[in-house]
Amino acid sequence: MTAAVDIAELDLFYGAFHALKRVNLAIEPRKITALIGPSGCGKSTLLRVLNRMNDLIPGCRIAGTVRLEGRDIYAPNVDVCALRKKVGMVFQRPNPFPLSIRDNVTFGLRVAGLSDSQALDAMAEKSLKAAWLWEQVRDKLDSLATALPLDQQQRLCVARLLAVEPEVILMDEPCSALDPISTAKIEELMLALCEHYTIVIVTHNMQQAARISDSSAYMLLGEMVEFGETPQVFENPKDKRTEDYITGRFG
């Protein structure tokens, strides 16, 4: 099977700081790939390489190649906005705009120039259904999104990103602000979404990585220490450093 995202010999610098060191990673389509490792190991940085959010940080440079479906996303003629529509992102803290639920979900479409309100409403309904939020909010689409409970806010953020029809979904510790019950709902949602989308998740929660991911990558100090199928990485790690981290001796 060809990889959805193929990272080869990737180096990333913040000014003089070498944040990612010769990283290689092949992310399979319609699977959940987990990036794990201690704080500051570069996993969030790696995630933000995939939708070029690091472009916004002054002094950030990369070397190596990152291919999405065979195309180099750092080639000079790449349309970054189009790339970001293909590779959506869910952030650590639920971050709806202080707008209505409807306006949040349709934000990406409205920015893209769609103004037909029927089409927007249809897309909002479809996205909210896909994020399992439709039943809870169908009667209050015009009320303020930031008044929703946190887990519903996070699912609204998922719906907002599904509306622009991405292929890859990046999740940066999407459950770290949520309680265990809300976390379980988001995890369940991720398992359902990975039938149609390629998901990459950064998580600090080992159990979460073990529960939901198909492959896991362990990173340490900017290096990719180990990458493999999740059961193998967790039960039979090849690298001593991975074993130390997973068994809790370190990190």
* Interacting residues toward another protein by CB under 8 A: 51, 53, 56, 58, 81-82, 84-85, 88-89, 91, 93, 95, 97-100, 107-108, 110-112, 142-144, 157, 160-161, 164
Name 206's Cβ contacts closer than 8 Å, sequence gap at least 6: 36, 234, 246
User: Closest CB to another protein among 115 and 235?
Assistant: 115
User: Closest CB to another protein among 37 and 108?
Assistant: 108
Q: How far is CA 144 from the centre of its chain?
A: 25
Q: How far is CA 12 from the centre of its chain?
A: 19
Q: How far is the CB of 221 from another protein (least distance, A)?
A: 25
> How many other CB atoms sit within 10 Å of the CB of residue 196?
12
Tokens matching residue 189: 């949602």
User: Closest CB to another protein among 23 and 157?
Assistant: 157
Q: How far is the CB of 110 from another protein (least distance, A)?
A: 7
Cα–Cα distances (Å) from 80 to 56, 83, 245, in that order, read 11, 5, 36
User: Closest CB to another protein among 58 and 70?
Assistant: 58
Q: How far is the CB of 93 from another protein (least distance, A)?
A: 7
User: Closest CB to another protein among 58 and 248?
Assistant: 58
Q: How far is the CB of 50 from another protein (least distance, A)?
A: 11
Determine the number of helices (DSSP H) and then strands (DSSP E) in the chain: 11, 10
Q: How far is the CB of 91 from another protein (least distance, A)?
A: 7
Q: Which residues pair with 107 in a beta bridge?
A: none
Cα–Cα distances (Å) from 38 to 19, 41, 219, in that order, read 14, 6, 8
